[in-house]
Amino acid sequence: MKKRLVVANWKMNPESLSQAFKLAGAYKPSRNSQLVVCPPGVFLQPLSQRFGRKMAFGGQDCLWEQEGAYTGGISPAQLRSAGARYVILGHSERRKYFAEDDKMVNCKLRAALAAGLTPFLCLGGGLSAGVSESKLKIAIRRQFRAAVGGLKSLSRTVLVFEPAYAISTFGGKRVSADEVAGMAGFLRRLATQRFGSRVAAVSVLYGGSVDKATFKSYRVFGRIDGFLVGGASLRPDEFKRILQEFDI
């Protein structure tokens, strides 16, 4: 059985390292899924050193250079050194609060791949609730083409359908399981059109207010290879139930 990916995006939580240890320690990884925890950068190395055998770790973002005069930036190489194997790129909150555009996402993607990281490429940022399916696809097609510009293959890249309007901080509009499954198929077609049939099996995740109430309905379609989980990953009991669903 192909292992699914479950990514816990802690965002700017929790407040202290002791709380981060407690949260990670409460997780019980599934036998049939790969758990990836993306904590704030300041907690990455101590968490990976303590829990690296139990789960994988990733960064929430990275810069497009491996070193240099970029105050406040974290390079892909530094993430690797701190224990990260993965990195989230193009997240809706990065686009909204840090004015991240498609060109920046492309530069970060290429730098992350060059450093040996597996990127989670988020697509759907900047979109408003109520957008038509056709406009949604046009916007995601544009983001995808811009993000992968200059690449000869998708390599290790994982695609994430992450419509901004579904994120709790931007309104948390529920997305139907039909839409999630349909967009997963659309992303795979985009990948195939750009890179050929060899990427037909590219992994596609869904992110957008995933919790215990929505998880089962999203999962049954079999078109999604995993989930990018935000708020629910900060609630250990709820998150454990999501992980346990993969063992049923």
Q: d(Cα 136, Cα 148) in Å, to the nearest integer?
A: 18
38 bridge partner residues: 9
If we measure between CA atoms, which residue out of 97, 202, 94 comes closest to residue 148? 202
Query: Is 162 annotated as catalytic?
Result: yes
Name the token pair of 39.
Answer: 């904590």
Maximal CA-CA distance, the chain: 49
Q: d(Cα 195, Cα 153) in Å, to the nearest integer?
A: 6
| Exposed / middle / buried, residue 137 (Cβ in 10 Å: 0-12, 13-18, 19+) | middle
- On the question of a cis peptide bond just before residue 76, with omega within 30 degrees of 0, the verdict is no
Query: Is 67 annotated as catalytic?
Result: no
Phi-psi region at 226: left, alpha or beta (left = phi > 0; alpha = psi -120 to 50): left
Find the catalytic residue in 133, 162, 179, 238.
162
Find the catalytic residue in 15, 65, 67, 91.
91
Positions marked catalytic: 91, 162
